[in-house]
């Protein structure tokens, strides 16, 4: 499918940028005329992916996190990319309640939230190679059309 619009965003791996990042992606995705719930789902998923990049990818506040957002006819594609330490066992990392940082009171629900709130989540990562989380959310599905009738 053809890309209708695209934006790229880069910011330092600091926790105060989390709210900026999710708000920016949500504002861009608003072009697809999503419902409030769809926008909130996107915000929540982006927040999880960006938090992972900051806490797990880098563990220091002076690196860059990148977000690429592409808008297609019926869906939005969001990539959250860090060039940090990468994930050793992706399958384990995606399991509900698994966290590599229990001492920080992390719930281990980040990937579960992304998977639940988005339609597709793909994780591309290797130790020392950084991590790319690619997420897709379909906007305006049939269910919504029915709701509006």
Partner 1 sequence: MLADWKRKGDILIVPLKGELDHHQADKVRDFLDRLLEDASIRHLILDLSDLFFMDSSGIGVFIGRYKTISKRGGQVCITNVNTQLHKVLELSGLYRILKKYDTVQHAVDGIRRVSV
User: Interface residues with partner 1 (CB under 8 A)?
Assistant: 15-16, 18-19, 37, 40-41, 43-44, 47-48, 51, 54-55, 104-110, 112-113, 116-117
Dist. CA 142–CA 11, nearest whole Å: 36
Least distance between partner 1 and beta carbon 1 (Å): 28
Chain-centre distance of CA 142, in angstroms?
24
**Closest distance of CB 21 from partner 1, Å:** 10
- Alpha-carbon span 58 to 113, nearest angstrom: 21
Query: What residues contact 31, with CB distance under 8 A and at least 6 apart?
Result: 5, 71
Quote the distance between the C-alpha of residue 87 and its chain's center. 16
Annotated active-site residue in 18, 38, 48, 77: 48
**Nearest CB to partner 1, comparing residues 72 and 109:** 109
Q: Which is nearer to partner 1, 86 or 108 (CB)?
A: 108
**Residues involved in catalysis:** 48, 52, 106
């Amino acid at each position: 499918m053809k890309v209708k619009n695209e934006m790229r965003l880069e910011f330092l791996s600091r926790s105060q940028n989390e709210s900026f990042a999710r708000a920016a992606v949500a504002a861009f995705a608003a072009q697809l005329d999503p419902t409030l719930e769809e926008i909130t789902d996107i915000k929540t998923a982006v927040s999880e992916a960006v938090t992972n990049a900051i806490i797990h990818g880098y563990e220091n506040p002076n690196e860059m996190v990148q977000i690429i957002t592409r808008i297609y006819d019926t869906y939005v594609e969001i990539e959250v990319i860090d060039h940090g330490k990468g994930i050793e066992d992706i399958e384990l990392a995606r399991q509900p309640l698994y966290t590599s940082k229990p001492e920080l009171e992390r719930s281990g629900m980040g990937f579960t939230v992304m998977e639940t709130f988005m339609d597709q989540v793909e994780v591309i990562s290797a130790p020392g190679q950084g991590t790319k989380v690619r997420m897709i959310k379909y906007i305006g599905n049939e269910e919504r059309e029915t709701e509006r009738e």
